[in-house]
Every structure is written in structure tokens, then in C-alpha cells.
Amino acid sequence: MLKKRVITAICGIPVLVAAVWFEDFLPWFTMLTALLGVLASLEFSRLVNASRAQTFAFYGACITFFYILLRDVKLLEIIDAAFSTAYILPLLLAALVLPLLWSWLPVRFRGEGSTLKGGVWTIIGIIYLGWTLGHLIALRGLEDGRNWVFLALFVTFAYDTAAYFTGRSIGRHKMAPHISPGKTWEGAAGGVIGAVLLSLFFTLDTPLGLPITWGHAIILGLLVSLFGQIGDLLESAFKRYTGVKDSGNALPGHGGFLDRIDSIVFSGLVVYYYVIWVI
């Protein structure tokens, strides 16, 4: 299992780094994030469908794609030349509530299993993956956006990696045994230390350096740790609720795409709002 996790990470991280780094030339990162959002959305629908609440899976994946894609500032500038971007937000909001309205229609106009519950879960999936992941694209569009995205991603990875190895080595006290039996308080503490240390790296005078103090770096490390853990536990709760062990098996050693990005969905969001509100 560990060997598979390492091999998958070695293959995936360079692709992710290249996508973020060369986003100024072509929207590689935007497209990669949107693709991951779609794949994770389909896995999310699979989880919900396992609990007998049939979602609008294809519709949810499509709207998730557009929620992520339309946070790209350069893309919006291109669209604005032919279509006023002032209409985009109302259209996205209308698309968000459409599954709920559709689920209220008479049974003869609905597919089998298309219930109000399924419509609600479709909306939750769009917000959970489309709206949240879109903040990574918005973060990339800010000044020093490339490095802010690297901070959000690498600090999350540092937390996950440090928590994993610390938990395996000295983990004794379960954090949430009914949700995620493998997580321990010792592992969480080790993860926080790893996240803060890597966050401090971004204060150094390097190509990845950011105009932040040690205090900001420490706070960001703590926030990313907290919200990354919340995202991880939330996805674990989904799996417990539906009785599914992994969201998929596309990534050897990691499960599915949703299993891999469950921490990132909130990390990008918290870094984005910290940057625009505090820094």
C-alpha cells in the first residue's frame, strides 16, 4: 500500500507542479482542476447513490466543471468579448437550484429514483466540489497567485504526509474512531508541525517566496491543517454514511479522486479568503 502511494505521488506531483507553473501561458491548471472536479463529482454521486438517494450525476458533474472553469479571470475576459459576464453568476445560481426544482415535477416526468433527496444531494455535491475547488483557480489569478497555490497545495500535502507517518509510528489515541478509525491525535499533531514548517518555507527568499511574515505563515499552516482535516473527515463521514470504503480505485494506494482531493477542497478556500481579507 505504501509503495503504491509513493509511486502515485511521484507520478502525479510533477504534473500538478507543471500545470500551476505554466498557467500563465495556457490554462493547464484550470483544466486539470476542472477535470479533477468532474471525476470527483462522479465519485461523489456514486457514494450518494449507494445510499439509495439517486443524484443527477451527469448534470452535477457538468455544473461542477463550469463552477471551476468560470473562476478563471483570463477565460472570463475572453467570454466577455462575446457575452456579458454579468449574466454568468445568475446562470450558475439558476443551474444550482435546477435539480431541486426538477425533483418536484410529477413522477411521470422524472427518471426512476429521481427524488427530492437526490436533488438536494446533487446541489450539495456542486457546492462541495465546484464552488470550493473554484477558489484554487481564483487564488491562482491573484498577485503572486502561483506561489499562493503552491502554498495551499504543498502545506496540505505536508500535513497529510506528516500525519500519516506520525500516526503509523506513535499514534495511540483515536481522533474520530466512528468516522475515520485510522486517524489519531498524535498523527494530527505531527501533521500540524509538518504543515507549519513547510508554510514557513514560503517566507524565505526563493522563487516560491511570498510577501508574508512568520506570523502569517504559522497562521496559514494552522488554518490549512484545520480545514484540510475537516475536509478529510467530512469525506470519511460520507463514506461511513453510504457504507463505501473508498470513493473509487483509480489511484493506486489512494483510492479514488475524491479520496485524494478531500483535503484540498477547503485548503484552497481558506488560503484564498485569508489572502484577500488579511494580507
Instruction: Write out pLDDT tens, residues 233-266.
Output: 888 888 777 777 665 555 554 567 888 888 899 9
> What is the pLDDT at residue 12?
61
- Provide the whole-model pTM: 0.88
Record the cell numbers describing residue 164, joined without a space.
Answer: 500519516
What is the C-alpha to C-alpha distance for residues 273 and 148, in angstroms, rounded to an integer? 11
Q: Name 164's Cβ contacts closer than 8 Å, sequence gap at least 6.
A: 187, 191
Please answer whether residues 139 and 152 qualify as being in contact, where contact means their C-beta atoms are separated by less than 8 angstroms: yes
Q: How many domains in the chain?
A: 1
Q: Name 237's Cβ contacts closer than 8 Å, sequence gap at least 6.
A: 179
- Of 213, 211, 225, which Cα lies nearest the Cα of 152? 225
Mean pLDDT of the chain: 84
pLDDT over 70 (residue 14): yes
Record the cell numbers describing residue 57, joined without a space.
Answer: 450525476
The boundaries of the domain holding residue 52 are 2-277
